[in-house]
Structure 1
Amino acid sequence: MRPDDLQHGDVGLQPERTSLAWMRTGAVLGAVVLGFMRFVPGPGPVVATIGLVCLAPALVVLLAGRVGHRARVRGLVEGRAPYFWWRNLAVTVTVMVLTISSVVLILTED
């Protein structure tokens, strides 16, 4: 197999789909955080603080989806696949914090 046979036909296509998927993930995570802030019962300042802390990673993931696009295109052209593991960790930790906080706030509601 020649090296030319390994070239991707459209070097922007796969990275674009990945970028869009991460942007959707960040947007949905932000919507979940806003839903948490609206519907979870509890003291207002506590819910607002947890929500704002969890909104930060959602915004970072949303913005990084677009910023990382160029790195993915360059990586695909060079034959490597960059992996941004911190985004997976940010989404996982944010969902866990929201889940645990929701359960605690609901169970301790008067």
Structure 2
Amino acid sequence: MRHDDPGLQPERTSLAWMRTGAALGAVVLLFMRFVPGPGPVVAAVGLLCLVPSVVVLLSARIGHRARVRGFVAGDVGRLWWRNITVAAAVVVLATATAVLIAVDGLA
């Protein structure tokens, strides 16, 4: 499907979301590797935060076609839930990291 956007905005947006999902996944893997604490707790938090990364990656790919159709129709929908999902995962990771490091420092 062709659209009249010479700047290829749908492609840039999809690629930006894919980079965001990949970066979040990398941060989660670093969390799981380097944050001290009980293994099951670190694994549970890591896997919980890895799910949004996969969802963002998949939705960027699937949402690309919808974005192109929206540009052609002149109506681009906003997927605000992705912003909230990424922000929530970052807050959970940061809080868990701070708590696990503090608890490990006390021990």
TM-score (norm 1): 0.89
Aligned residues: 103
Distance 1:82 1:23 in 2: 18
TM score, norm. by length of structure 2: 0.92
Q: Does 1:104 align with 2:104?
A: no
Structure 2 unmatched ranges of 5 or more: none
> Is residue 2:12 matched to residue 1:8?
no
1:22 equivalent in structure 2: 17
Q: Which has the larger radius of gyration?
A: 1
In structure 1, runs of 5+ residues without a counterpart are: 1-6
State the 1:9 CA deviation: 4.1
The alpha carbon displacement at 1:82 in A equals: 1.1
- Aligned with 1:79 (options 71, 74, 77): 74
Instruction: Give the distance between the partners of 2:44 and 2:5, measured in 1 at CA.
Output: 47
Q: Write out per-residue CA displacement over residues 39-83 of structure 1, whole angstroms, 9 at most, x where no aligned residue.
A: 100000000000001000111001111100011001111111111
Matched residues in 1 for 2:59 and 2:42: separation? 26
CA RMSD of aligned residues (A): 1.4
Aligned identity (percent) is 63
**Counterpart Cα distance in 1 of 2:38 and 2:90:** 20
Distance 2:5 2:55 in 1: 31
SS at match of 1:101: helix
CA distance in 2, matches of 1:9, 1:50: 41
Runs of 4 or more consecutive aligned structure 1 residues displaced over 6 Å after TM superposition: none
Q: How does 1:26-65 map to 2 (within 5 A)?
A: 26-65=21-60
